[in-house]
């Protein structure tokens, strides 16, 4: 009885695992999981929180300094016992010192640190864009590969039927033995192609599972209907590249450098401080003192540092501006390239689906009919079958190129 219950439990667990493993995942759901679970995205979130925490304390003051010590102690310590000796000036000093930073410096420092978080946000969005492109290409690769599998299986059924027909004719001396061997060789090649496609699917699954941060062997179903979006071919439509996250990150980096430059510019403004001191005297009345302090950063050996740093950051800003222009030009070029290639790939794919494949299908049907009527050649029939199969596979290659180009176009334009 226990063994029976254990067997039922194991079967139930197995069925549960299989049910989980065959979960359907649409492309949108997959992209959402990638953007949520991938470690580098979470890393950016922690970086942003770290910078924000640092910015919260940017306007804090330095802690006060407390000091104490003996002062004016004679080497002849017996003098300390004589309270009336005017030379007895020994005592213990207690002092408390607090520096009061310049408020404009604190405000500039906080603005600069806060700007670093904005850079991280833009970099996070661009990383998401890169992950979306990779995930889409892997997803499209599996989709097209599965479509190729269906084509191969359909062609396998047709070829198996041709082999059966040829063997029947051979028994009636209406077919040649070499034609049967050739057909069976083609059948074996089909099986090899199916194995190769299974490898491509497994490779895509591993990549997608890694992007979703799951076990690499987890199986799942994907959408069986993916169609091209047919983006309008407008080569002038490159104005939005300036809003891309990578270019925005660079622009925010330039703004951050300007804030850093401001920090250096106002670095020559004075800071203030106050020092209160109490002297507990042994032979004299107790004494106290209060002193104010001010830094003098305008002296030559100090102000030169601020001027040189400000000048250096200015040159860096000019360099980054040119880098941003270069990135915008490259983005516009890549967008134009993708749109141009899309137009040609779409035209070729339409030619395959509307003209080439229908013509080869009719050619195969005509050869099958002729062979059944004993007026056709079996080698010609095999060639017709093989050409149709090849053209269908080529059509799916074109479809994958279109989907891949669209994914790269969406990457260049950062379409979510």
Could you tell me the CATH number of the domain that includes residue 55?
A: 1.20.1600.10
CB atoms within 10 A of CB 229: 13
User: Under a CB-based contact definition with an 8 Å cutoff, are residues 366 and 375 in contact?
Assistant: no
For residue 186, pLDDT over 60 is answered with yes
Is 3 part of a structural domain of the chain? no
Is 22 part of a structural domain of the chain? no
For residue 6, pLDDT over 50 is answered with no
At 17 the pLDDT is 41
Compute the distance between CA of residue 138 and CA of residue 413 in angstroms, rounded to an integer: 19
Q: Which residue has the higher pLDDT, 188 or 167?
A: 188
Residue 181 has which token pair? 């061997």
pLDDT in tens, 121-164: 999 999 999 999 999 999 999 999 999 999 999 998 988 888 77
Is 365 part of a structural domain of the chain? yes
Handedness of CA 222, 225, 229, 230 (dihedral sign): positive
Alpha-helix residue ranges (DSSP H) falling in 212-299: 245-265
Average pLDDT for residues 281-307, to the nearest whole number? 79
* Contacts (Cβ under 8 Å, ≥6 apart) of 166: 175, 179, 180, 183, 378
pLDDT in tens, 68-126: 998 888 888 777 777 777 778 888 999 999 988 888 888 999 999 999 999 999 999 99
Residue found under tokens 């002193």 = 291
At 2 the pLDDT is 39
Q: Considering only CA atoms, which of 159, 180, 158, 183 is closest in space to residue 169?
A: 180
CB atoms within 10 A of CB 342: 22
pLDDT in tens, 10-35: 334 434 444 444 589 999 999 999 99
pLDDT in tens, 336-389: 899 889 999 999 999 999 999 999 999 999 988 887 877 778 788 889 999 999
Q: Among residues of the chain, what percentage have pLDDT more than 90?
A: 52
Range(s) of the domain holding residue 98: 28-413
73-82's contacts with Cβ under 8 Å and 24+ in sequence apart are 80/282, 80/283, 82/283
CB atoms within 10 A of CB 283: 17
Q: Considering only CA atoms, which of 3, 263, 5, 328 is closest in space to residue 116?
A: 263
At 239 the pLDDT is 64
Q: Is 211 exposed, middle or buried (0-12, 13-18, 19+ CB in 10 A)?
A: buried
Residue 214 has which token pair? 């799951």
Question: Could you give the dihedral angle defined by the CA atoms of residues 398, 399, 403 and 406, in that order, rounded to the nearest 10 degrees?
Answer: 60
pLDDT in tens, 229-272: 888 766 555 667 888 999 999 999 999 999 989 888 888 788 88
At 4 the pLDDT is 43
> How many structural domains does the chain have?
1
Is 139 part of a structural domain of the chain? yes
Is 1 part of a structural domain of the chain? no
CA distances in angstroms from 36 to 24, 41, 58, listed in the order given: 18, 7, 31
At 266 the pLDDT is 85
Is 402 part of a structural domain of the chain? yes
Compute the distance between CA of residue 152 and CA of residue 160 in angstroms, rounded to an integer: 12
At 170 the pLDDT is 62
Is 21 part of a structural domain of the chain? no
Residue found under tokens 């983005």 = 331
Is 48 part of a structural domain of the chain? yes
pLDDT band at 411 (very low <50, low <70, confident <90, very high): very high
At 5 the pLDDT is 38
Q: Considering only CA atoms, which of 252, 215, 233 is closest in space to residue 116?
A: 252
Q: Among residues of the chain, what percentage have pLDDT more than 70?
A: 89
Compute the distance between CA of residue 266 and CA of residue 104 in angstroms, rounded to an integer: 8
For residue 301, pLDDT over 60 is answered with yes
At 193 the pLDDT is 93
At 298 the pLDDT is 66
């Amino acid at each position: 009885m226990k063994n029976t219950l254990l067997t039922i439990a194991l079967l139930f667990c197995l069925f549960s695992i299989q049910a989980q493993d065959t979960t359907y995942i649409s492309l949108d759901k997959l992209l959402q999981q990638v953007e949520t679970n991938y470690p580098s995205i979470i890393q950016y979130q922690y970086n942003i929180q770290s910078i924000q925490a640092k910015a919260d304390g940017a306007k804090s003051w330095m802690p006060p300094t407390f000091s104490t010590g003996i002062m004016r102690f004679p080497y002849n310590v017996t003098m300390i016992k004589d309270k009336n000796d005017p030379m007895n000036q020994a005592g213990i000093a207690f002092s408390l010192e607090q520096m009061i930073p310049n408020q404009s410096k604190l405000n500039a420092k906080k603005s600069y640190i806060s700007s670093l978080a904005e850079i991280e946000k833009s970099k996070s969005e661009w990383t998401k864009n890169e992950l979306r492109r990779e995930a889409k290409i892997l997803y499209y690769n599996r989709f097209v590969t599965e479509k190729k599998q269906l084509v191969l299986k359909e062609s396998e059924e047709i070829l198996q039927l041709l082999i059966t027909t040829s063997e029947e004719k051979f028994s009636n001396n209406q077919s040649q033995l070499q034609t049967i061997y050739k057909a069976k060789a083609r059948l074996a090649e089909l099986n090899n192609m199916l194995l190769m496609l299974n490898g491509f699917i497994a490779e895509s699954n591993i990549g997608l599972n890694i992007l979703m941060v799951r076990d690499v062997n987890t199986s799942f179903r994907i959408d069986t209907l993916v169609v091209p979006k047919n983006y309008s071919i407008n080569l002038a439509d490159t104005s939005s590249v300036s809003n891309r996250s990578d270019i925005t990150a660079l622009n925010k980096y330039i703004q951050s450098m300007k804030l850093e430059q401001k920090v250096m510019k106002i670095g020559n403004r004075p800071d203030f401080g106050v020092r209160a001191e109490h002297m507990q005297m042994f032979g004299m009345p107790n004494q106290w003192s209060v002193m104010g302090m001010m830094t003098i950063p305008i002296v030559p050996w100090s102000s030169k540092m601020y001027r040189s740093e400000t000048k250096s950051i200015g040159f860096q800003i000019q360099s980054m501006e040119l880098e941003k222009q270069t990135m915008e030009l490259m983005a516009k070029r890549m967008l134009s390239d993708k749109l141009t290639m899309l137009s040609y790939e779409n035209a070729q794919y339409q030619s395959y689906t509307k003209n080439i494949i229908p013509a080869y299908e009719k050619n195969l049907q005509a050869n099958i009919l002729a062979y059944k009527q004993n007026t056709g050649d079996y080698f010609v029939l095999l060639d017709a079958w093989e050409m149709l199969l090849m053209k269908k596979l080529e059509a799916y290659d074109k479809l994958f190129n279109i989907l891949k180009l669209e994914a790269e176009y969406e990457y260049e334009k950062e379409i979510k």
